[in-house]
Amino acid sequence: MPLQISNAVVLADSEWEISAVRAQGAGGQNVNKVSSAVHLRFDINASSLPEFYKQRLLALSDSRISKEGVVVIKAQQHRTQERNREDALLRLQQLIQGAAVVQRRRIATKPTRGSQKRRLDQKSQRSAIKSGRSKKDWQQ
């Protein structure tokens, strides 16, 4: 089943490798005997992704991406191997789509004159409250 990234970008099944492993964590009647967890490996550099996606993915500081550009996703949340496989593919899809989102540049703005005045008024009110707590008589 191909993985749809966007309208123009689709990844073929051959671009990722899925292997079944035993799940970690507390044991039970099922978990120690059945290989229900899934490791998904996806090589960014060898993929058919457009160059834009590759550059953005490799620039991410994500612990799932190795120095060689291989994405490793371990899915062990679900009880069955098939559900874990779907979960791993969904997480890969979200990772690639998230890397493609371009953040809008923030435009620095100055505080308004009214907000500056309100801030200074609050500071002077707070100062008056604190100075009123003093036991010393400063009028001597």
Helix (H) or strand (E) holding 73: strand 70-75
Whether the model clears a pTM of 0.85, i.e. scores above it, the answer is no
Angle subtended at Cα 8 by Cα 7 and Cα 14, rounded to the nearest 5 degrees: 105
Give me the pLDDT at residue 88, please.
93
List of the chain residues with pLDDT < 50? none
**Helices vs strands, H then E, count in the chain:** 3, 5
Domains of the chain: residue spans and CATH: 3-100 (3.30.160.20)
